Amino acid sequence: MRYPSAPVISLVSGVWLGSCAVFAAPLDEPLKPLPATPVLDASRVELGRRLFNETRLSINNTLSCASCHHLDKGGADDKPFSLGFDGKPVALNTPTVFNASLNFKQFWSARVDTLEAQIQQVVTSPAEMGNDWKTVVATLAAAPEYQRAFSLAYPDGVTAANVQNALATYERTLITPNSRFDQYLLGNTDVLSYDEKQGYLRFKEYGCIACHQGVNIGGNMYQKFGVIKDYFEARGNPIEADLGRYLVTLDEDDRHVFKVPSLRNVAVTAPYFHDSSAKTLEEAVDVMFEYQLGRTPSADDKTRITLFLKTLTGEWEGKPL
């Protein structure tokens, strides 16, 4: 009797040699794959999800977290500047909420350490939700559905700290694993094309990795915008928000210094930079080379780096962003 042939297995290496992709051991690289989505208290995660979409967090019941952080648009806003509760644009481009829990600090100016503190400020910001926590707590406590949900999740019910914690708990689940680059780091070396691999190599060789590093490929350090050339003089029309961490510390060394943004899902979070000045990923790469690196790459190198950056797009709820 003739049996169907099986894929050939190397008894020495244990690697499939048939039509399947070749998987090696995880690669030893300076960039690391995303961790698994944490398993957190289910009642708090669900409550946080509801609060994330709750417009009653804003003073006039018009704005929720999801109004500016669109989970179907990379966790950011495709507008240059999101609109606050009063319909006026805010001063800074909205960063993505995806993988934000992996950043070492929050906001462009890195002015708070935790997601809870970030939520506390957004709700009370006169440019964003314009509310106060006494009103928020009273509003939610008066709603039977929230009375039940908070009593299940927290022994002390509806409090400002619990609202902030529930939202932060939900946001800690907003991890986007399984990008093609993460698959590559985990050993599936066939998942990237030759040009994408060359783009990663150029990303390291040109020095992009000096700032965009670690598990979030950024989000773990400060850097001046305009290391080599004065970006703000070239752009013109300076505004207060351009001062970055200087507004937090009043230290001249922090003028124009910002938290380095994560590059995860960067291909789906345009426009770019705190001022939304780069409308495309290609424009953003050009700006980085001119003002941060002071180098002139070949057209092929820029193309390959851009292709590499597109491999950083992960998945949310099992689907590519």
The three-class DSSP label of residue 132 is: coil
- Catalytic residue, from 54, 116, 128, 196: name it: 128
The per-residue pLDDT for 22 is 55
Kindly give the interhelix angle for 144-153 and 133-141, rounded to the nearest 10 degrees: 100
pTM (2 d.p.): 0.91
Q: Is the pLDDT of residue 17 over 50?
A: no
Report d(CA 182, CA 214) in Å as an integer. 12
pLDDT at 5: 37
Q: Determine whether 205 is an active site residue.
A: no
pLDDT confidence band for 23 (50 / 70 / 90): low
The residue whose two tokens read 């922090």 is: 254
Q: Name the burial class of residue 221, with classes exposed (0-12), middle (13-18) and buried (19+) by CB atoms within 10 angstroms of its CB.
A: middle
Residue with tokens 């009370």: 124
Cα–Cα distance measured from residue 2 to residue 263, given in angstroms and rounded to the nearest whole number: 53
What mean pLDDT is predicted for residues 45-59? 98
Q: Which residues are annotated as a binding site for heme c?
A: 65, 68-69, 208, 211-212, 288
> What is the C-alpha separation between 105 and 115, in angstroms, rounded?
8
**Token reading at 157:** 């019910």
Per-residue pLDDT of 120-178, as tens digits, reads 999 999 999 999 999 999 999 999 999 999 999 999 999 999 999 999 999 999 999 99
Q: What distance in Å separates the CA atoms of residue 218 and residue 244, rounded to the nearest whole number?
A: 17
Q: Which domains does the chain have, with CATH numbers?
A: 42-171 (1.10.760.10), 180-316 (1.10.760.10)
- Under the banding of pLDDT at 50, 70 and 90, the label for residue 25 is confident
